[in-house]
Amino acid sequence: MSDCLEILPPNQGVPPQLMVLLHGVGADAASMLPLARALQHEFPQAALLIPEGFDAFDAGPQGRQWFSVSGITEENRPPRVAAARERFVRWLRAAQERLRATPAVTALVGFSQGAILALETAQAEDGLAGRVLAFSGRYAVLPDHAPQLTTLHLLHGAADTVMPARHAREALDRLALLGGDATLDIAEGVGHVLHPVLIEEAIHRLRSHIPHRTWQAALGAAPRMQRDGGTH
């Protein structure tokens, strides 16, 4: 992989959170800095990594891409995404090992093509990240099973014409049917951008959403009342 911007906590110890930000096609790591700064403000002890896409953007003079969109179709998108995902998973595991950050404290935060990569990584590698925040993204193919160890937060602009919001709605419906842990927030009047309203909602989700697996673990640990039909 090419360069990676890093924003590391001042204590230089094991970070309590690792956030990996994945940019859109034709962009670069610097394009994710406004989001990174917002996350750093709210989570100052988190380590933030912003890697550059694997390859040079093949449809313009500048920028990077995770996979090519030249001549892309519904049929050839999945294998392209799968190839990028395999490369990214190797990179992510190495980053987690280097920073001694566990998968449970890792969040993948992607925009557009970066969101596709994040969602498909969570789909193929359940639990490699505890959370995914997918801004203006979609699945390469709607899932046939739901991750059980990863919470998915879908964030979209209602006026997005590049990646229509119907993709997010379809994803949420499918995940709900499959018993996944997912949320969806759609901002009216917002297009295909990392809008401050969506960033604010993402931070709210990170702070307030309790993963279903946490509830289930708590319920499983709670003592059960024994009822024998007598009078109590």
Residue 107 pairs with which residues in a beta bridge? 19, 131
Flag whether 228 is in a domain: no
Share of the chain above pLDDT 90, in %: 84
Determine, yes or no, domain membership for 153.
yes
> Does residue 69 have a pLDDT over 70?
yes
Residues 180 and 147: their CA atoms lie apart, in Å, by: 6
Overall domain count for the chain: 1
Predicted TM-score (pTM) of this structure? 0.91
Q: What is the pLDDT of residue 219?
A: 58
Strands 106-111 and 18-22: parallel
**Known active-site residue 192:** yes
Which structural domain range is residue 180 located in? Answer: 4-221
Would you say residue 73 has pLDDT above 80?
Answer: yes
- Residue 209 among the catalytic residues: no
| Position 50 in a domain | yes
For residue 30, the tally of other CB atoms under 10 A from its CB is 12
Q: Provide the mean pLDDT of the chain.
A: 92
Residue 231 lies in a domain: no
Residue 11 lies in a domain: yes
- 190: phi then psi, degrees, rounded to nearest 5: -105, 135
Residue 232 lies in a domain: no
b/e code 126-145 from CB counts within 10 Å (16+ = b):
eebbbbbbbbbbbbbeebee
3-state secondary structure of 208: helix
172 within 8 A of 132, measured Cβ to Cβ: no
Look up 160 and say whether it is catalytic: yes
Which residue type, as a one-letter code, is found at position 113? Q
Of the residues 23, 31, 160, 181, which is catalytic?
160
**Catalytic annotation, pick one of 23, 153, 156, 192:** 192
Domain CATH code at residue 211: 3.40.50.1820
pLDDT tens for 110-146 read 999 999 999 999 999 999 999 999 999 999 999 999 9
In angstroms, the CA 175 to CA 178 distance is 5
**Catalytic, out of 112, 136, 156, 167:** 112
Asked if residue 23 belongs to a domain, the reply is yes
Question: What's the rounded mean pLDDT across residues 32-60?
Answer: 95
Flag whether 48 is in a domain: yes
